[in-house]
Chains A and B, each alone.
Chain A
Amino acid sequence: MCTVALAGELSVDDFEFKDDDQAARYNALIQEFRCPKCLNTNLAGSDAPIAKDLRRAVYRLISEGKTDQEIRDFMLARYGDFVLYKPRLTPATLLLWFSPLILLLVLALVILQIANRRSAVSLSDEDRARVEDLTTE
């Protein structure tokens, strides 16, 4: 099944690249894509058969001279947004990106209100006298 590897650890594939630049691009790209069958592993860190196939596809596309963006488009067209580790900013993912921030703001507002409430409690003179009476016995 799927093996979770340590961050930065690469699966062993025997790919030969034309130059170091291609090899570097390959290593970067296979960390960008999520292994479709594993919940939270990138292509670099997965032993799943589909991950191997996709790594091979990335290698082939690099060798064919495709740009990084073209390779991302290739993956997106076939596997959808789920294949990208970093979700794109689209209307559909707006809530995904901003709901933590919105939630934080709401919480901050609430906390502020509680704090204000505590410090803003003011007693009328009459009530203040009553409190003094009750507490000094």
Chain B
Amino acid sequence: MAVNKRRLLLLLPIPFFLILLAVLVAGFYLGRHDVHPSALLGSTFPSFKSIKLRSGQTVTSEDLKGEVRLVNVWASWCVACVDEHDVLSKIAETSHISLIGISYKDERTDALNWLTRYGDPYDFHLVDLNGDLGVNLGVYGAPETFLVDRDGIVRYKHIGAMTHEIWREEIEPLVGDVSNE
């Protein structure tokens, strides 16, 4: 009947709205940890040549390969880095994962003093004085943490302070996967 057809069309926005709502809610829950998934996921860690923070020894992207690494971008001027420091220390301690620091846009003395004050659970630190390595990593700022597999492929990126929840739910499972590859 003509009237029913009109009624039906009038009600069309409702299912459309519900679908839209469902999409938005799903998107919210799916994306809550990964607001902007790294463009580097699945790509090789950017090629770089730098020096180690303490020793001044030359270090390149090749030196990261061969082991699963948790690469953490930090700085003494970064407030949230203090928050995540205990979390990272705990993670390094219990999981024995290789924790590598990138001293990001920081004066060497400031960085070293910070490590003396808060402790140094890292294997070593790369120096990125002007942020060029950061740009190649798609870094927004400090802190950020990357999971890199044995072949130097970026498997996960976390923007912001590391939490036990993120480690447990998002990264640790991946570490298991990549270690068995």
Binds A, one of B34-42, B95-103, B111-119, B168-176: B34-42
| Contact yes or no, B39 A106, CB < 8 A | no
Contact A106 B37 (CB under 8 A): no
In the complex, per-residue mask of A90-120: 1 if CB is within 8 Å of any chain B CB, else 0: 0000010001000100110110011011001
Among candidates A37, A80, A116, residue contacting B141 with C-beta atoms closer than 8 Å? A37
Residues of B within 8 A of A (CB-CB), count: 27
Tell me how far the C-beta of B2 lies from the nearest C-beta in chain A, rounded to whole angstroms. Answer: 8
**Which residues of chain A come closer than 8 Å to B141, judged between CB atoms?**
37, 49-50
User: Is A53 a contact of B131 with CB atoms below 8 Å?
Assistant: yes
B138 interfacial by beta-carbon distance below 8 Å: yes
**Which residues in B have their C-beta under 8 angstroms from that of A78?**
39-40, 135-138
Q: How large is the interface on A (under 10, 10 to 19, 20 to 34, 35 or more residues)?
A: 20 to 34
Chain A CB within 10 A, most for which of B16, B36, B134, B140: B140
B158 to chain A, nearest CB (A): 15
A4 close to B (CB within 8 Å): no
Instruction: Contacts A50-B141, A54-B135, A109-B12 given; indicate if A80 touches B6 (C-beta within 8 A).
Output: no
Rounded to whole Å, the gap between the CB of B157 and the closest CB of chain A is 11
- Residues of chain B from 123 to 144 with CB closer than 8 A to chain A in the complex: 130-132, 134-141
B residues with CB within 8 A of A? 2, 6, 9-10, 12-13, 16, 20, 23, 36-40, 43, 105, 130-132, 134-141
Nearest 6 interchain pairs by C-beta:
A80-B39, A78-B138, A53-B131, A36-B140, A113-B9, A79-B138
